[in-house]
Amino acid sequence: MSKVVVLDYGSSNLHSVAKALETVAGNDHSITVSNNPATILKADKVVFPGQGAIGQCMAHLNEQGLDQVIRECVLNKPFFGICLGLQSLMAHSDEDGGVKGLGILPGNVIRFHDKQKDENGDSYKIPAMGWNRVKQTQSHPLWAGIEEDCWFYFVHSYYVKPTLESDIVGTTEYICRYTAAAARDNLFATQFHPEKSQHAGLALLKNFLNWQI
């Protein structure tokens, strides 16, 4: 049985993520929520969920020594970041006056432009909240069985802009085209919330649990 740890840094939607993972885990995977560095490092797979502001997130990670734990995990085991868990992986975020991220993926986190209007002349709402289609820009094991342009659930005011095109495996459009999913080696991370995305989201999480690297 593989051990999957949902990283608890003190402010997150971790319980809904853990519940979604338990739904698809069956008897093959144990799901644990933990902020203990030793427990996280011993896990076979790690999930880094997130919501809220990045300044507080990075402060909590740094205070608990979890920033280095994440860097170590990304090097040698399947790792899944969700929403703020994706944004925190970038080198820098414009949120909270500018915050240094984990620097695992080169790039920046930027805010949607205010007062942008759609084709009907209506202003786009920020945060972006609701269902949107995701275009799979590269093949990946975690996309297995998930249809192209499938719907996923988003809640965010900022989005990532990776430096390397090769790190982008999914895009979506709201105000602009932006990265919905990023991946490199054993790392996969999404701007959307798979735990809130019904069948497609559960399929993605199941693919992660079964992912062999």
* pLDDT tens readout for residues 54-95: 999 999 999 999 999 999 999 999 999 999 999 999 999 999
pLDDT at 120: 66
Per the structure, the complete domain to which residue 50 belongs is given by 2-209
Q: How far apart are CA 7 and CA 110, in angstroms?
A: 24
pLDDT at 107: 97
Q: What is the pLDDT of residues 90-115, one digit of tens each?
A: 999 999 999 999 999 999 999 998 76
Better-scored residue on pLDDT, 13 or 26? 26
Which CATH number is 131's domain given? Answer: 3.40.50.880
pLDDT at 12: 66
Q: What is the pLDDT of residues 126-171, one digit of tens each?
A: 999 999 999 999 999 999 999 999 999 999 999 999 999 999 999 9
Q: How far apart are CA 45 and CA 207, in angstroms?
A: 12
Residue 125 pLDDT > 90: no
CB 201 within 8 A of CB 207: no
Residue 10 pLDDT > 90: no
Active site residues: 83, 193, 195
CB 89 within 8 A of CB 104: yes
Q: Which residues pair with 170 in a beta bridge?
A: 136, 181
pLDDT at 119: 66
Residue 11 pLDDT > 80: no
Q: How far apart are CA 25 and CA 27, in angstroms?
A: 6
Sign of the torsion formed by the C-alpha atoms of 188, 192, 196 and 200: negative
pLDDT at 40: 97
pLDDT at 15: 86
Domain tally, the chain:
1
Read off the tokens for 4: 């999957």
Question: Residues 107-125: what's their mean pLDDT?
Answer: 80
pLDDT at 77: 97
Read off the tokens for 57: 């997130």
